[in-house]
Amino acid sequence: MTLKLWTGCRVATMAADGPRPYGLIEDAALVVEGERLRWVGPRADLPRELEAACAQRIDAHGALITPGLIDCHTHLVYGGDRANEFEARLGGASYEEIARQGGGIASTVRATRAASAAELQAQSRVRLRQFLSEGVTTLEIKSGYGLALEHERKLLQVARSLGREQALDVRTTFLGAHALPPEFAGRADDYVDEVLTMLAQLHAEGLVDAVDAFCERIAFSPAQVARVFAAAQALGLPLKLHAEQLSDCGGAALAARFGALSCDHLEWLSEEGAAAMADAGSVAVLLPGAFYFLRETRLPPVALLRRHGVPMAIASDCNPGSSPCTSLLLMLNMACTLFRLTPEEALAGVTRHAAQALGLQDRGVLAAGMRADFVLWDLQGPAQLAYALGANPWRQTIFKGESR
């Protein structure tokens, strides 16, 4: 296999055991073998024999290189939009009020059910390309706007299909327990039965990489979520949870008991919840886009998460209601300005910790043996990624060893 040598760059490896901060290596070299990294380190330390074996040499002309970015929480595939609700909220209506009146998630469910797979794919592809243009190489997509077997299937098939046609990895998450569909009004427990049926079927069709639920007053109770989690666990699927977004329902502690990969949102997380997450090794996925767009004032307890050593990831939550956002770089900035993360924590949140939130051990840091997914930026240093509000200093993405 041809070895490719990259030089003329500084590399933010983001390796936890690398040099501080950012695992940064000035005047670095990377050796790529097929889809993997064979060697990463200071150019001066590159073994002679390895250098001699490199058939292709590439000068990065002073680029900053980071791992490919990972968005570990999106609802990217949906029909329609909710600009009307944005206007209503600016006029004083609350997100919860709109949801209780049949708008909110339910209105996107109507639009998503009405859309053909081709229409959904075309609309979603536009959003996906915006993520690609900012160096995203792995992106999670949740279902949850179909809420009936044929429509959840359609949505997950569109997600898989986008992953095949574009040069990035799509990971699918089944979020059947996102909202109560109208045909089950007043019968939430019956709908949970239906969620279990859909899960078994869609899993058998190979469409599900993980399982999520929305634990909230306007969604599902901890007891209902526990039923979904038990079924998912029996199928060997990893778990995630929308927890403590609008109130403290004890969702994070529940998810931790099930060994969930991540708990997401967490503005109302309690100390007990944080401690449970630390024990379980669950990642805290913070979603500054939803916090900003819903004009929330209650901040996720970042100091608490730090104190308990809970790893923090950052994601877009791309969805039509609470975060119509297709920029992971903007999320880096907001994680710093709104949540007071350091730029290094924010970058770890879209690389190393985002990989952990998806249960992926082969990416998120640049080190020998990891996937050769990396991005060249026209930047001097990694803090500029979070700093440059609205800029896109992207130059090139290498996905599985190849330029795309």
Residue among 152 and 317 whose Cβ is closer to Fe ion: 317
Closer residue to ligand DI6, CB minimum distance, 238 or 321: 321
Taking a C-beta distance cutoff of 8 angstroms, is the pair 366, 38 a contact? no
Options 228, 277, 290, 366; binder of ligand DI6; rule CB under 6 A: 290
Q: What are the C-alpha distances in Å from 395 to residues 71, 82, 145?
A: 19, 33, 34
The H-assigned helical ranges of 74-138 are 83-90, 95-100, 105-114, 117-132
Is 108 among the residues that bind ligand DI6 (CB under 6 A)?
Answer: yes
| 146, 108 Cβ separation under 8 angstroms | no
Task: List binders of ligand DI6 among 181-220 (CB under 6 A).
Answer: 214
Per rule CB under 6 A, is residue 242 in the interface with ligand DI6?
yes
Give the shortest CB-30-to-ligand DI6 separation in angstroms: 37
Size of the site for ligand DI6 (CB under 6 A): 13
Q: Cβ of residue 286: shortest distance to ligand DI6, in angstroms?
A: 12
Residue appearing with tokens 């243009």: 133
Contact pattern for ligand DI6 over residues 39 through 78, marking x by CB under 6 A:
----------------------------------------
The residue written with tokens 């901890």 in the block is: 222
- Nearest Cα residue to 393 out of 139, 137, 129, 63: 63
Choose between 37 and 215: whose C-beta lies nearer to Fe ion.
215
CA dihedral 68, 73, 74, 75 (to 10 degrees): 150
Counting contacts by CB under 5 A, is residue 216 touching Fe ion? no
Residue 362 near residue 370, CB atoms below 8 Å: yes
Q: How far is the CB of 265 from Fe ion (least distance, A)?
A: 7
Q: Choose from ligand DI6, Fe ion, none: what does 4 bind? Cβ within 5-8 Å by kind.
A: none
Contacts of 150 (CB under 8 A, 6+ apart): none
Among 245, 282, 316, 397, binds ligand DI6 (CB under 6 A): 245
User: How many alpha carbons lie under 13 Å from residue 105 in its C-beta half-sphere?
Assistant: 19
DSSP 41: E
> Does 104 engage in binding with ligand DI6 (CB under 6 A)?
yes
Judged by CB under 5 A, the residue of 71, 85, 244, 317 near Fe ion is 317
46, 105, 158, 225: residue in contact with ligand DI6 (rule CB under 6 A): 105
In the complex, minimum distance from the CB of residue 316 to ligand DI6, in angstroms, rounded to a whole number: 11
268 touches ligand DI6 by CB under 6 A: no
Q: Does 244 bind Fe ion (CB under 5 A)?
A: no
Residue 104 binding result from Fe ion, ligand DI6, none, given CB thresholds of 5 to 8 Å by partner type? ligand DI6
Residue 224 makes contact with ligand DI6 by CB under 6 A: no
**Alpha-carbon distance 237 to 251, whole Å?**
18
Determine the Cα–Cα distance for residues 64 and 382; give it in Å rounded to an integer.
7
- Compute φ and ψ for 95, nearest 5 degrees: -55, -45
Q: What are phi and psi for residue 177, nearest 5 degrees? A: -90, 60
Considering only residues 308 to 327 of the shown chain, the ones binding ligand DI6 according to CB under 6 A are 317, 319-322
**Whole-number minimum distance, CB 245 to ligand DI6, in Å?**
6
Q: How far is CA 234 from CA 203, 212, 213, 364, in A?
A: 12, 15, 16, 28
Q: Looking at beta carbons, which residue is closest to Fe ion?
A: 317
102 by Cβ neighbours in 10 Å (0-12 / 13-18 / 19+) ranks as exposed
Footprint of ligand DI6 (CB under 6 A):
104-105, 108, 178, 214, 242, 245, 290, 317, 319-322
Footprint of Fe ion (CB under 5 A):
317
